[in-house]
Structure 1
Amino acid sequence: MRYFIAVAEEGSITLAAQRRLFTSQPSLSRQLKDLEDEIGVDLILRSAKGVELTEAGTAFLKHARLALEHVETGVDAANRAAKPAKPTFAVGFLTGQEVDWLPETTRLLRDQLPNMEMTISSQYSPELAEALIRGKLDIAFLREERNTPELIYIPVTSEPFVVVMPSDHRLATNEDIDVHDLAGEVFIGASNIAYPMRVAIETYLEESGVALEPSHRIHNLTMAMSLIASTRGMALLPAYAKNFLPWSVTSRPLRGNQPTLELMIGYSRNNVSPLLKLFLSRLEGLAKQPQIRAALSRRT
């Protein structure tokens, strides 16, 4: 039936043999003749221009296609029954953080990897929180988002902020930057979508006695890089932003006391996945052990 369908769709025994079936033309012709003999009627008319279906062939084609679909469905069902689906563990990363934390995550579950399917996604923090709440993710490396009582957050690490600016900016010659030097520059701040970052930046500026009114506000790092390059502005961004820097943009550490922003592991209170439970039981094995151990001790 598969051979017959290929010939019917190609309109030629030669083309069907070469393009679709990768068999010889005589072999294909014999198969078609055997099929017609078994059914007892002619299915195709052969001519110098190719082949055409008889009325019987047209009627048979529809049922042949349905029969093959049922066969393929049956094969899939048999395979699923013989090999039950592996449990899935869905991990999300704040875009850019997978560079540092995906290897750590897979290391904690290395002994389980042959028996599970791990899916990876990269999104911005609010989208990750929403995916955790909806059950689309088991864990996520993200910021602690507002209005998410359904989620539990465990601190992973505190990231210092750096100053990000055009590579040819006059301050780029400095080894570090005094925050007061940002006065008078085009300043790019964080929007409410990036609320944890906005709070950290504004608190730091207030404590430093620096009044900077943002000319633009961003809610992700891709947007930040674009604005810095196009407006020749400056921004305070978490250090992992260095993973995104194009050639036209560079970063320098802040001089003196540096503000930080916590990276969290988040998960849903309602998630009862055995793999999640196992992952959480091994969290002390992550690279930043002191912080995680302290967070876990507070939970218990």
Structure 2
Amino acid sequence: MELRHLKYFIAVAETGSLTVAAERRLHTSQPSLSRQIRDLEDQVGVPLLLRSARGVELTAAGKAFIDHARLALTQVDAAVEAARRAAQPAKQRFALGFLTGQEMNWLPKAMGVLREELPNIDVTVSSDYSPDLAEAVARGKLDLAFMRAEPGFDLAYRTVGREPLVVLMPSDHPLTAHETVTPQDLMGSPFVGMANKARVLRAVIDDYLARSGVQLTPTQGVDNPAMVMSLVASTRGLALIPSYVENLLPWSVVSRPLAGEQPAIDLVVGYSKANTSHALKLFVSRLDELIALER
């Protein structure tokens, strides 16, 4: 069994189509891909995929196999990254990731924690969606990320902050006259919801609305704060989003706090316990100091 077999199998499972996986993900021919999948199933000894007119679906064995296949590829990527770092021991690299927009709040504090080490390390910074940050940390592309506690990754999480959700609305919306907004006030306006990729935030919002007895059908589902703001302005809709986004609002969008007990979402730092980076150990050892700066 070779790594390409695992990559091909995952591509087919995620796209649900041999043709789409071959043409768009793997850039190979469909017959060649089919042979690779058959070879993999022969080696495993059981069918992993069900083929039908509707596409391709995982068998029970395939569902059990895919998580291990993903983990195997993640571990290979992490091993490659570790080898590359070991080959350049003269100066360490410390790669920080931030949930898009959070770097405005947390990067200065993070750099303060690392300041005494800066002459000895190169610090790189990137921002992305939370699930992508989790994958990058798991694969060794990032040392640590400020993100959500994404399930399904073998990472250690430490909560560094808890953010209340606020209501976004167009700057001329009638609700701007309110000091606070109730869940019931959200009814009657278009509602911009979170897409599946923002599953942690979406779960917090869904739980809050359910506990409030409010049913809202999103007119859009997005996972990018900039797109949320754009849709709020263009559709005259409302959205629930963590308060850090208030730092990024254009003139056409404003926010209001929720009345009563406000729902909140944890901001965490995520890192791999298998990462032996000296800079990471230093950073984690000073997390209490970092958290105190936020209070």
* TM-score of Structure 1 vs Structure 2, range by shorter chain: 0.5 to 0.7
2:242 matched to 1:238? yes
How far residue 290 of structure 1 moved from its aligned partner, in angstroms, is: 10
Deviation per residue, 1:169-202 (Å, 9 max, x gap): 0111211111111111101111110001100001
How is 1:216-295 mapped onto 2 (pairs within 5 angstroms)?
Answer: 216-288=220-292
Call closer, same or farther: CA 1:97–1:170 in 2, change over 3 Å: same
2:125 matched to 1:106? no
How is 1:44-63 mapped onto 2 (pairs within 5 angstroms)?
Answer: none
Q: Hey, what's the Cα distance between the residues in 2 that align with 1:229 and 1:290?
A: 31
Q: What is the aligned residue count?
A: 208
Map of 1:204 onto structure 2: 208
Choose which of 176, 187, 192 in structure 1 pairs with 2:191: 187
How is 1:12-31 mapped onto 2 (pairs within 5 angstroms)?
Answer: none
Map of 2:139 onto structure 1: 134
Q: Hey, what's the Cα distance between the residues in 1 that align with 2:113 and 2:289?
A: 7
Choose which of 137, 143, 147 in structure 1 pairs with 2:148: 143
Identical columns (%):
53
Call closer, same or farther: CA 1:197–1:288 in 2, change over 3 Å: farther
User: Are the counterparts in 1 of residues 130 and 150 from structure 2 also a CA contact under 8 Å?
Assistant: yes
TM-score normalized with structure 1 length: 0.67
User: Are the counterparts in 1 of residues 161 and 294 from structure 2 also a CA contact under 8 Å?
Assistant: no
User: What residue identity is the alignment partner of 2:267?
Assistant: L
Runs of 4+ with deviation above 3 angstroms:
287-291
Q: Hey, what's the Cα distance between the residues in 2 that align with 1:254 and 1:290?
A: 22
How far residue 287 of structure 1 moved from its aligned partner, in angstroms, is: 3.4
Deviation per residue, 1:100-147 (Å, 9 max, x gap): 111111111111111211111111111111110111110000001121
User: Are the counterparts in 2 of residues 164 and 251 from structure 1 also a CA contact under 8 Å?
Assistant: yes
Choose which of 151, 156, 163 in structure 2 pairs with 1:159: 163
TM-score normalized with structure 2 length: 0.68
Query: Rg larger in 1 or in 2?
Result: 1
How far residue 269 of structure 1 moved from its aligned partner, in angstroms, is: 2.5
Supply the RMSD in Å over aligned alpha carbons.
1.7
Unaligned runs of 5+ residues in structure 1 are: 1-82, 292-300
User: Are the counterparts in 2 of residues 104 and 287 from structure 1 also a CA contact under 8 Å?
Assistant: no
Deviation per residue, 1:26-52 (Å, 9 max, x gap): xxxxxxxxxxxxxxxxxxxxxxxxxxx
